[in-house]
Structure 1
Amino acid sequence: MTSAPPAVDAASLRRAFVASLSGTSLEWYDFAAYSVAAATVFGHQFFPAGDPLVGTMAAFSTYAVGYLSRPLGGFVFGRLGDVLGRKRVLVSTLLLTGVATFLIGVLPTYQNVGALAAVLLVLLRFAQGVGIGGEWGGAVLLSSEFGDPAKRGFWSSAAQVGPPAGNLLANGVLALLSAVLTEAQFESWGWRVAFLLSGALVAFGLWIRMKLEETPVFRRIAESGERPRAPISEVFKYERRGLLAAIFVRVCPDVLYALFTVFVLTYMTQELHMSRGQGLTAVMIGSAGQLVLMPAFGALSDRVDRRRLYLVATVAAAAWPFVFFPLVSTRSFPAVLLGVVVALVIHAALYGPQAALVTEQFSERLRYTGSSLAYTLAGIIGGALAPLLFTSLLAGFGTWLALALYVLVAGVVSVIGVVLAREARPQVAVS
C-alpha cells in the first residue's frame, strides 16, 4: 500500500483545500460560461445557418474541441506534475485557461470577420481544454496529499466541487445579464461580460496558489530520489488496468453532466419551447446543492465501500433519463426543476467519490500522470461528444428515447470500470 504522508498543520491543510477548490472553480467558471454560450448564443454569432439546430451543432463541435485537447494537457502537465511538482504546474494551468477565456470575450463575430471568427474561437477553446486537462489531476492531489489517506474521499472532493461552483457562478452571471439586458443587448455584447470577468477571477486564483507550499507527498518523493524519469510510459507499462478502470468509471458521470447542465438548455428552448431563464434557474439550483453534496458523498465513501457506492449511483444515473424526459414533457417548470435537481444529486454521488477512486488506481509517484490521462481520455469518450451526440440523436430519431439509451450505454461502461477498479492501489514495480 502507499505510505501515509507526513503530518501537516491544520492551516496548510485548509490552504490546500481552498487552493484546490478555488482554482478548479475558477477554471470551470470559464468552461461553463463557454458551455452556456454554446447552447444559447454561439450558434448564430459564429456559425450562422438557416436551421438553428445546425448552428447549435456547430457550436457544440467547438465545445467538443475543449475536451479533445484535454489529453494534450494531461500528457504535458501530468508528466511535469510528477517530475517538477504539483504547485508549479497548477499555476501554469490556471493562467492558460484564464487568458484563453478572457480573449473569447473580445473576439469578433462572424458578422465582423467572417469564418476567421470561428477559427479563433476554436483555437481559444483548444487552449482552454489544454489548461483544464492539466488542472484536474494536480488539483485533486493538492488537497488529498495534504490530508489523511483514510479521509481521501473527503479531501480530494475539493477539486470535485469546482465544476458545480464554476457552473453556478457562470450560470448566475449569464442569468443576471439575461434579466437586466434585452435579448438584443445580450446577444450583441452582454454575453461577453461573463468571459471578461475571468480576468479578475483568475488573478485571485493565482494569488491563492502562489502562497501554497508543495505537497508533503511530492516533497518526500523528491527527497528520496524516486521521481519518475518517464511517467507516461511507466503508466502504460505498469498501471494499465488502473488506467482503464479510471477511464471507464468517468464516462457515465461526464455524459450525465453534459445532458443536465448543457444539452438540457437546448432541449428546453428548442423542443419544449420554454425560456432560457427557466433552464438556467434549474441548473443553478441543482449546482448549488452539489456544493454540499459532493463533499458529503466523498466523506461517505471513506466510511463505506467506495466502489459499491459508485456502482449504486451509476445504476441510478443510467435509469434517471427514462424518468426525466416523460416528466418534463408536461412543460412544467416544477417538473423540469425536479428532474434536473435529482439528476445533479445522482451526479454528486458519482463525482464526489470519483477523485479518490481514480487516484487510488495509481502509485504515488505516477499519480499526477495517471490521473490526468484517465481524466482527459475519459473526457473524449464521455463529455466531449455528449452534447453533439445528444443533438444528433434528437435530430435523427426525433425522440428522447434515443438520448436515454445513450446514457444507459455510458452507464454500462462505467459499471465495467467499477468492476475493474481497486479500492486502494498498491505500489507497483518501476523501471
Structure 2
Amino acid sequence: MSNTAEVITGTTDRARSAPISPAFRKLVVASSLGSVIEHYDFFIYAFTAPIVFDRFFFPRMDSTASMLAVYATFAVGFVARPLGGMVFGHYGDLLGRKAMLTITFVLMGIASFLIGCLPSYDSIGLLAPVALVTLRFVQGFAFGGEYMNAVSLTLENAPSARRGFFASFVNASGPIGVILASGFIALLGFVSTPQDFAQWVWRVPFVLSLVLVVLGTYIRLQVDESTLFKAAQASAARPKAPLLAVVRSWKKSVLFGCLANMAHSTFQYMSTVFVLGYAVKTLGMAQSNVTFGTMVANLLEMCMVPLVASYSDRFGRRPFIALGILLAAAWYPIYFQLVATKDPTLLIMGLLVSIGIIHALMFAPEAAFTAELFPTEVRVSGSSLGKQLGIILGGGIAPLVGTALMGSSGSFTPVILYFEVIAACALAGILFAPENAKRAL
C-alpha cells in the first residue's frame, strides 16, 4: 500500500533527492535551448513588426489601417499554431517527440531567415505582403508543433516529484529568447538612426536565424527519446489516430488547456506587443524604452518560472494559475494608466509587474498542467491542441482586437473589458479542471 501511494503522490524525500542522470541533463538543456532559439525567432517578428512593417509592407494604407494589417499578419502566425500543434502533435505521439522537435526547429529558422531577406512593397508590390504572410504562417505552424513535444519529452523523463520544475525549464527558456530578441532590437535601435533601422537594420536579427538553426539542430539531435513514449509505442492499445482519439474522448481536457493558455497569452501579448505599438506610434515614446522594459521583465520571469513551478509540485498547478489570473484582472487597469503617463520608468515598472510576476504565476505551472491533462499515448496531440487553440483565441488576436477596440478614440476601457471577460472564463475553467500534479503519468 505504501509503495502504491509513493508512486501516485511522487512526493517522497527519496523521489525529490534522486540523482539526475547526465542524459536527462542533456535532454533538459536541449529542449530549453531549442525553445530559446524558437522564441527568439518568433519574437523578433513581434518586436519589429509594429514599428517597421506598417510602412515597409503596407505603405498604401492610413496609419490605423496599416497597423491593423501588421497585427493581422502577426495573428496569422497564431492561426497556424493549432494546425502545427495538430500535425506535429499527431506525429509526435505516433513517431516520437525527438524527430518532431528537429523538423519544427528547422522550419522556424528558415522562415525567419527568409523574412529578413524580403523586398519591400515598393520593390515588388503585393508579392511582398503575400510572402510575409506565407512565411509568418510557416513560423506559426512550426512553433505550434514545437512546444508540447519539448514539454512532453522533458516531463516524461523527469522524476515524478519534480515534473513541474523540470517541465518549466521549457517555459523559463522562452523568456531568454524574448530577452535576446528585445535586447538585440533595442541595441540595434540605439546604435542606428530610425531611418536606417526602418530601411535595413531590422533585417539583421532575422538573417542571423540561419546560424541559430545549425546550432539548434545539432543540439536536438543529441538527445534520447522519451522513455514513457517508448513504453506506450510497444502497447497494442495505442490509438492509430491520436488526434481523433483526443477529439472523441478528451474534449474537456482540451477545453481546460485552452482556457488556461488563453488567459496568460492574452495578458502577455497585450502587455508587450500591443503596448509596444501604442507607446511608439501613438504616445511617441522611444522604441528602446519598451523593448528594454520587456527585456528586464523577462529576466525576472526567467528566474520566477522555475521557482513557482517547484512550489506547484508541492501545492498543485491550479492555485498558482488561478492566483495569476485574479492578479492580472486586478492589475490590468492600473497597468494601462501607467502606460498613459508616457513615463519610461513607470512603463518599465509596469512591465516588471506584468510579465516578471503576474504572468510568471500563470505561465510557470502551465507546461505541466496542460501536459498532465492527457495520457502518454495522446499527450502531445491533446496538449498541443488545447494550448494552441488557447493561444490563438488569446494572445494571437489580442493586439489586433485591442487596436480595433481602441480605434481612434484612444480609450483603454474596451480593451480592459475585453481582457476581464477572458480572465473570468479562464478562472472558471481552472476551478473545474482536475489537479494532476501528484498523479502518476
TM bucket, shorter chain: over 0.9
> Counterpart amino acid of 1:116?
L
Paired residues of 1:164 and 1:288 also in contact (CA < 8 A)? yes
Q: Choose the corresponding residue for 1:183, options 194, 203, 209.
A: 194
Matching of residue 36 in structure 1 with residue 54 in structure 2 = no
Match of 1:26 in 2: 37
Give the structure 2 partner of residue 47 of structure 1: 58
The alignment status of 1:65 with 2:76, answered yes or no, reads yes
Matches within 5 A, 1:234-383: 234-344=245-355, 345-383=357-395
- More displaced 10-residue stretch of structure 1: 117-126 or 67-76: 67-76
Letter in 1 for 2:384: S
The 5-angstrom pairing of residues 89-100 of structure 1 reads: 89-100=100-111
Aligned-residue Cα RMSD (Å) equals 2.0
Q: Which amino acid aligns with 2:55?
A: H
Instruction: Please list the CA deviations of residues 382-416 of structure 1 after superposition, one character each: whole Å capped at 9, or x if unmatched.
Output: 11110101111111542112211111111112112
Structure 2 residue aligned with 1:217 = 228
Q: Give the aligned residue type for 2:339.
A: V
1:124 is paired with a residue whose SS is: helix
Structure 1 unmatched ranges of 5 or more: none
Aligned length: 428
* Structure 2 CA distance for aligned equivalents of residues 337 and 239 of structure 1: 41
Matched residue, 1:423: 435
1:3 to partner: Cα distance: 7.7
155, 169, 172: which one aligns with 1:161: 172
1:144 partnered with 2:155:
yes
Cα distance in 2, alignment partners of residues 57 and 113 from structure 1: 21
SS of match in other structure, 1:41: helix
**Aligned equivalents of 2:377 and 2:179: distance in 1?**
34
Q: Write the deviation string for residues 93-134 of structure 1: whole angstroms up to 9, x where unpaired.
A: 101111111110101110110111000000000000110110
Q: TM-score, normalised by structure 2?
A: 0.93
| Matched residue type, 2:79 | L
Q: 1:9 and 1:226 mapped to 2: Cα distance? A: 31
C-alpha distance in 2 between matches for 1:420 and 1:304: 17
Distance change (3 Å), C-alpha of 1:3 and 1:227: farther
State the 1:226 CA deviation: 4.4
CA displacement, residues 172-230 of structure 1 (integer Å, 9 cap, x when unaligned)? 11111111111111111100001011111121111111011101111111233443211
AA partner of residue 222 (structure 1) = Q
Q: Which runs of 5+ in 2 are unaligned?
A: none
CA contact (8 A) 1:74 1:372 kept: yes
The amino acid that maps onto 2:117 is V
Q: Where does residue 241 of structure 2 map in the other structure?
A: 230
Q: Contact between 2:160 and 2:440, CA under 8 Å: does it hold in 1?
A: no
Q: Deviations over 1:63-98 (max 9, x none)?
A: 000000111111111000000001011100101111
Query: Could you tell which deviates more after superposition, 114-123 or 374-383?
Result: 374-383
Deviations 1:319-357 (A, max 9, x none): 211111222332211111111110002101111100111
